[in-house]
Structure 1
Amino acid sequence: MRLRDTAGRVLHLGYCTNVHPAEDLGGVIGQLDEFAVPVRERLDAPVLGLGLWLAAPVAAGLAADRASRLRLRRELDLRGMEVVTLNGFPYRSFQDPVVKHAVYHPDWTAPERLAYTLDLARVLADLLPDDAARGSISTLPLAWREPWDTVMAGRAARSLDRLARGLANVEETTGRFIRVGFEPEPGCVVETTAQAAAHLAGVDTDRLGICLDLAHLACAWERPADALRTLREAGLPVVKVQLAAALETAEPAALREYAEPRFLHQARNPGGGAADDLGEALADGLPAPWRVHYHVPLHMRPEPPLTSTVGVLREALAELVGRGACDHYDVETYTWGVLPPAHRPSTSAGLADGIAAELAFARDELCLLGART
């Protein structure tokens, strides 16, 4: 979906397809018919934005074959879909029964991560709508925090230099401008905006910046206004915003039904207390209150004493939209399949309903800040 802010700038709003498990081109096209088309129809939107997730083998195949890229572009156009952003954080197997720490590999010390990201840039150059000003790709915040040393930091820095040169080459050969945003996340080398400013100092900020996930921001207990000021002062652009809400509670026992084996759910309290997964936090008695890296649907109201961090999302949107700080907004709730049974869709139609409701919620929040469809 496209909106315009009060200054007339185009805002792109879509949903991230990493909620779907497809890992081949046929599966990616199939998920358009199974989910994306019903979502667009429920929203009565002429065009639906997608933040495509392409597993590394799919990205490599598309990058090597322009005919396949053009086929995917045609399939998107036929269904009323457009793509301005790709999710390049999970490398592959993101909806496997157990993911946990595997999502952080390969990291930015490994050549496979650079190759994957540049493959995505080549693919995105052919998927971008003709009138889109730019494309964006989100990626992991360098690596999980352990192990990390000066040797690894140097290796990652060299990879980021090669990434910037590769993006420049994509622009030279295709005419399309694509930026990559590093996504601060609890437990990673870059967890906060201050760490982003420190670890990304000296990068090419024309092409590299931040993907701001608003659930991660909340879990770090950062105030949106302060976080965005830190990024501005560091000269790091917000390349992309992931619209997401985390869980919050002062009574952690109520979170037991959310402990599950697939994804890592980091817990944080405002005093700096931390646990790397929800089960660990429950076992160790981390002092409350907690915010937990568990993406819950934006429109969902968890049962008390649980709540969500949608208030942080609203604060952040007010800052971002008010300053014209970003034009790519992606709803990223990848956890539909592991929600407690009472909240979990049991059919494809039910999941499409939920995604459409989230997008309607996000659209309405942007409109409350003056954006118009």
Structure 2
Amino acid sequence: MIAYCTNVHPAHDLAGVLDQLDRHAVGVRDRLEVDVLPLGLWLPASVARGLAADPVARRAFAAELTARGLSVSTLNAFPYGDFHDTVVKHAVYRPNWVDPRRLAYTEDCATVLADLLPASASYGSISTLPLGWREPWTEWDDAHAEAALTGLTSFLRGLERPVRLAVEPEPGCVLDTVADAVGWLADRVDPAHIGVCLDTCHLAVSFADPVETVGLIRRSGLSVVKVQASAALEVPDPRASRDALAAFAEPRYLHQVRENAPEGVLAADDLPEAFDELPGEHPWRVHFHVPLHAAPGGGLRSTTDVLVTAVAALTEEVHVEVETYTWTVLPDAGDLTEGIAAELAWARANLATGVAV
């Protein structure tokens, strides 16, 4: 089945995590009429630390999930702290993979996930940031990030259940595109334990061909450990759609923009900057996760075609996680529980692949 990512829900402690699941996940499960609803669970670092340090607490948490008809085979460990601050922006990339806190957090998540995995799960997956934001980044940072991933690999080998790390390329980061991620990871990591998280919103923003991208990963010897089923905002005519697009220029999250110009892909680090810095003469794609089931209006589109094509190109079983964390900042978002259920229903109807969750 296909999971949904709970990083859309603000939570500061374990009680808050369970409260959000009661308020939304249980309702989504009921609307979809399934006995068990898979989650892509997000745990703030403090919550992950507490659970990792206490086997009794992990067993109790697993029992709470089971009692609600929820299962977990994948964690989203990209956001470290409060993902719902008034302004998040570049803070989501801290700590990066040079900072020891990132390794400690990921190890905590792996410890928790190993105890939450259903008996039928072939593996667990954890998605993580693409090393960090691109600036500042040096060869020294490269070496220390590689050492941290080597240390994580040793830790994962010691777990009783198989857990794999999925590195998630994102525009503006050290590993901006999938090609960047493949080039950096291929000779540095053990592909049995570390691979790629294919976020199809990020993929679309890069204007890379989805079929060629899946082939590139395969040829490199890496694998797609996890797919984040997501869609970007597409703007065929930026000048004509400026008013509609302005409604998406909200202050909490970073919304990187790319313009597909004949001379190459042009870049802006956020939507307000794009209005000033990009010519707007050619189509834009914006890093704004829009709901899978509902196309935006005002001359705007979503890139669900990239998602469907990428998933269809996969031949291996992968974890699929619907990750629309932007519900709370969408113009006219509507009811959150209903929206998540509608997205999952769309994904179940439109995505055909072996799903390992």
- TM-score per shorter chain, which class? over 0.9
Q: 2:42 maps to which residue?
A: 53
In structure 1, what residue type is equivalent to 2:346?
A: F
1:352 aligns with 2:341: no
Listed as ranges, the matches of 1:201-350 within 5 Å are 201-252=187-238, 253=242, 254-270=244-260, 271-287=264-280, 288-320=282-314, 323-324=315-316, 326-340=317-331, 342=332, 344-345=333-334, 350=335
In structure 2, what residue type is equivalent to 1:250?
A: P
1:306 CA displacement? 0.4
Which digits, 9 at most, give the CA deviation of each residue in 1:19-46, with x for residues without a partner? 0001200011111110000000000011
Partner SS, residue 265 of structure 2: coil
Runs of 4+ residues deviating >3 angstroms: none
Which digits, 9 at most, give the CA deviation of each residue in 1:251-276, with x for residues without a partner? 32131110010000000022210000
Where in structure 1 are there 5+ consecutive unaligned residues? 3-12
8 Å contact from structure 1 (residues 275, 286) kept in 2: no
Which digits, 9 at most, give the CA deviation of each residue in 1:277-309, with x for residues without a partner? 000001223433100000000001111410000
Distance in 1 (alpha carbons) for counterparts of 2:354 and 2:167: 28
Distance in 2 (alpha carbons) for counterparts of 1:48 and 1:106: 31
8 Å contact from structure 1 (residues 114, 159) kept in 2: yes
Distance in 2 (alpha carbons) for counterparts of 1:148 and 1:27: 35
1:114 paired residue among 94, 100, 103: 103
In structure 2, what residue type is equivalent to 1:238?
A: V
1:197 CA displacement? 1.6
**TM-score w.r.t. structure 2 length?**
0.95
Listed as ranges, the matches of 1:81-100 within 5 Å are 81-100=70-89
Distance in 2 (alpha carbons) for counterparts of 1:272 and 1:220: 8
Distance in 1 (alpha carbons) for counterparts of 2:227 and 2:22: 26
Distance in 1 (alpha carbons) for counterparts of 2:249 and 2:298: 17
1:63 aligns with 2:49: no
Where in structure 2 are there 5+ consecutive unaligned residues? none
**TM-score w.r.t. structure 1 length?**
0.91
Distance in 2 (alpha carbons) for counterparts of 1:370 and 1:31: 29
Distance in 1 (alpha carbons) for counterparts of 2:188 and 2:274: 36
1:134 aligns with 2:123: yes
Listed as ranges, the matches of 1:20-39 within 5 Å are 20-39=9-28
8 Å contact from structure 1 (residues 137, 178) kept in 2: yes
8 Å contact from structure 1 (residues 273, 286) kept in 2: no
For residues 144 and 37 of structure 1, do their structure 2 counterparts lie closer, same or farther at Cα, with a shift above 3 Å needed?
same
For residues 188 and 82 of structure 1, do their structure 2 counterparts lie closer, same or farther at Cα, with a shift above 3 Å needed?
same
8 Å contact from structure 1 (residues 135, 179) kept in 2: yes
8 Å contact from structure 2 (residues 257, 267) kept in 1: yes
Distance in 2 (alpha carbons) for counterparts of 1:30 and 1:71: 15
Partner SS, residue 159 of structure 1: helix
In structure 1, what residue type is equivalent to 2:322?
A: V
1:81 CA displacement? 0.4
1:370 CA displacement? 9.0
8 Å contact from structure 1 (residues 274, 286) kept in 2: no
8 Å contact from structure 2 (residues 197, 224) kept in 1: yes
Partner SS, residue 24 of structure 2: helix
1:199 paired residue among 164, 178, 184: 184
Distance in 2 (alpha carbons) for counterparts of 1:312 and 1:32: 30
Partner SS, residue 158 of structure 2: helix
8 Å contact from structure 1 (residues 265, 277) kept in 2: yes
Which digits, 9 at most, give the CA deviation of each residue in 1:28-85, with x for residues without a partner? 1111110000000000011100000000000000000011111110000001100000
1:250 CA displacement? 2.4
Equivalent pairs counted in the alignment come to 347
Q: Identity of counterpart residues, as a percentage?
A: 54
Partner SS, residue 110 of structure 2: helix
